Amino acid sequence: MSKGFQIQLPLIAKLRDEKKVKVETLAASGQWFKDNYKVTPATSVTINTDLSGSNRKTVWFNSRFYRVNLLWENGSLNFRDIHLFNEEFPSVYTKDKATSNECSFFTLPFVDGYIWSKPGTIAGMRFKALENGKEVLLEGGDPVIESPTTGKLHIAWPLKNKAASLVMDIDERQMTLSVKGSKPINWFLDMTAAENAVLPFKAINANKIDCQFEGMNYSITAIKGTFSKPDNKTVFRIKPSKNIVQVDFSGKK
């Protein structure tokens, strides 16, 4: 780390002298944050252009209740990550000291494209449609991503050969999905994971999925749309109700 630090500090000092960055202590940054935000604000990071040779696009949205990651790849779209945040979820290091050179910190998973995957099988919740009796991945073009107001994200993804767009509205508590177009589409989301992945799902009900992770119980509620388990290969499916899926990740009534 020392060599990297020696390279970084002069660069930071140069940017500071050019008034391009402000250098301050963590205590000062923490006080500024406390003075400006009563609660943790929602934030997002959007990558519309990938490195040369790849066509991926991604969006991260984070709030005090949950985080979500969308990944576009080869014309298709999936949720790569959805985790819930709960201040009552304890860390083992709250009471016990670390005794190894590796520490693990967790949040409450609903979609985990990292831990639930293995080579050749990437976990995720994918957008699909039923066409001529066959399940197919929805395909589309470049998404239009906007933040209409503070703490909210609006995404419109034009679908291929369907004269329609998948529309997503995400805020700090909920996510709403729908398809806007002249013709109805029988669309849904399927969650899949690697075989033998250790999953937190204890009960999949029509309007709620009950989970348990590291001894913590939590639930995800469908305000609009339904959960189901269509087959052994699919962890769960989310189907829209009147073309709308609305899921609450806040755990609040």
Using the predicted structure, report yes or no on whether residue 168 has a pLDDT greater than 80: yes
* Composition of the chain by helix, strand, coil, percent to 5: 10, 45, 45
Mean of the pLDDT values across residues 57-85?
A: 96
Q: d(Cα 73, Cα 56) in Å, to the nearest integer? A: 5
What pLDDT, on a 0 to 100 scale, did the predictor assign at position 252?
60
Give the pLDDT confidence score for residue 95 in this predicted structure.
83
pLDDT the model gives residue 157:
96
Q: Give me the torsion for CA of 133, 139, 144, 146, rounded to 10°.
A: 60
Higher per-residue pLDDT: 189 or 92: 189
Note if the pTM is more than 0.85. Answer: yes
Q: Where do the domains of the chain lie?
A: 1-36, 42-248
For 142, residues 6+ apart whose C-beta sits below 8 A from its C-beta are: 48, 57, 158
CATH architecture of 42-248: Distorted Sandwich (2.70)
Average pLDDT over residues 217-228: 97
Using one digit for the tens of pLDDT, what is the confidence trace for 183-206?
889 999 999 999 999 999 999 999
Average pLDDT taken over every residue of the chain: 94
Pick the range with the lowest mean pLDDT from 25-34, 74-83, 85-94.
85-94
Residue position matching structure tokens 């500090």: 9
Is residue 5's pLDDT more than 80?
yes
pLDDT of 253 reads 45
Report the DSSP pairing between strands 164-170 and 144-146: unpaired
